[in-house]
Amino acid sequence: MKQTSNNSLANGPYFPNVRLRRLRKSKALRDLLQETRISSDDLIFPLFVEEGLKNPKNVASMPDIQRIPPSKIVDVVSEILDLGIKGVIVFGIPSKKDNTAHAAYNEKGVVQKAIKTIKKNFGDRIVVISDVCMCQYTNSGHCGIIRENVVDNDSTIEILSKIAESHAKCGADIVAPSAMMDGQVFAIRKQLNDAGLADTSIMAYSAKMASPLYSPFRDLADSTPKFGDRKTYQMPGTNSFESLREIELDIKEGADMIMIKPALPYLDLIYKTRELFNLPLCAYSVSGEYALIKAASEKGWINETDVMIEFLSSIKRAGSDLIITYFAKKMAKVLLEK
């Protein structure tokens, strides 16, 4: 009897008949078969507006990102729109702080004025998202009302609701509560509905981790806590199941979109969230992610543009619909050059 070959690969759909390198032999072919694509429509650029500022201010830990004066808002947003970016998230740095973050919900506050300016000049050409938090506005640098050296959850969500309403009245398309207080989405949704602002969307910072990657942001926003840390209200990065519970609760409370922050260390969570929930999903590629790339690039250790594209592509590939990134303008320029 003729002995058959034990090599099952000989006649199977394998090498040398299958050569995946055939699909990569030219740039045009690679472009044609590209699975994950980033568009300028996916990108949201953070704006930091400082009350009383006369000229843009640089911050050492965030190269190329500036605090901007109110007088420069129109110029900055015009540039963003020219690049094809259709979304900004606005942060404010007030001239005065106090224990109750009064400036955060003042109708003449820095964010409120910024939103009005953007909407007056650009209308629906751009989506304005407002960060709803208190850390830039409190003397403590914490995200809420302090009672006996602890952030008090329930009194804080009352203030957050006022902040969100004030932003929505000025024209914000989306309010984004980032304080990680229990019940904040429910309280804000009720406040908006009661104020006749039911069409304002909520983007919930549903899984915001207590990450060391926020340090450059705190330099930029002047929001470093004066004591302790934020681990009692922000998420432990080790707990993906708890993160999913936070996301589910925010959805039940009325969130229209959900966010995961930071992005790169939590690609697994972005993937899980995309698999489990069908709401629009945003990832915030935070200041530390940006600063790491910029610092390594300045040392000549990496190619900044190539690493930027790879990192942003990984966030998109994991399942994020939208990406808040300090690289938004640079990435949009790369896309325009293609």
Catalytic residue among 97, 116, 261, 272: 261
pLDDT surpasses 70 at 172: yes
Q: Rounded to two decimals, what is the model's pTM?
A: 0.93
Domains of the chain: residue spans and CATH: 38-337 (3.20.20.70)
Task: For residue 208, indicate whether it is catalytic.
Answer: yes
* Residue 272 annotated as catalytic: no
What band does 85 get if pLDDT is binned at 50, 70 and 90? very high
Q: Please, which pLDDT band fits residue 9 given cuts at 50, 70 and 90? A: low
Q: How confident is the model at residue 218 (pLDDT cuts 50, 70, 90)?
A: very high
The upper half-sphere exposure of residue 128, i.e. CA atoms within 13 Å in the direction of its Cβ, equals 30
Weakest mean pLDDT among 86-90, 146-150, 194-198, 251-255:
146-150
State pLDDT tens for residues 25-57: 999 999 999 999 999 999 999 999 999 999 999
Dihedral sign, Cα of residue 141, residue 147, residue 148, residue 150 = negative
**Mean pLDDT within 159-172:** 98
- In the three-class reduction of DSSP (H, G, I as helix; E, B as strand; rest coil), residue 305 is classed as helix
- From the candidates 208, 272, 329, 330, give the one annotated as an active-site residue: 208
Q: Considering the chain, what percentage of its residues have pLDDT values greater than 90?
A: 95
DSSP-derived pairing of the beta strands 150-152 and 174-177 = unpaired
- What local confidence, expressed as pLDDT, does residue 14 receive? 87
Q: What is the pLDDT of residue 6?
A: 54
Structure confidence by residue, pLDDT tens digits, 237-277: 999 999 999 999 999 999 999 999 999 999 999 999 999 99
Contact 281, 319 (CB under 8 A): yes
* Amino acid 12: pLDDT: 65
Provide the mean pLDDT of the chain.
95
Of 323, 336, 329, 326, nearest in space to 36 by CA: 323
Tell me what pLDDT residue 154 has: 96
Tokens of 277: 């929930």
Helices (H), 170-221: 184-194, 215-221
**Can you give the pLDDT at residue 1?**
44
DSSP letters of 21-71? Answer: GGGGSSHHHHHHT------GGGEEEEEEEETT--S-EE-TTSTT-EEE-GG
CA distances from 314 to 135, 310, 320 (A): 30, 6, 9
Amino acid 69 reads P
DSSP 142: S
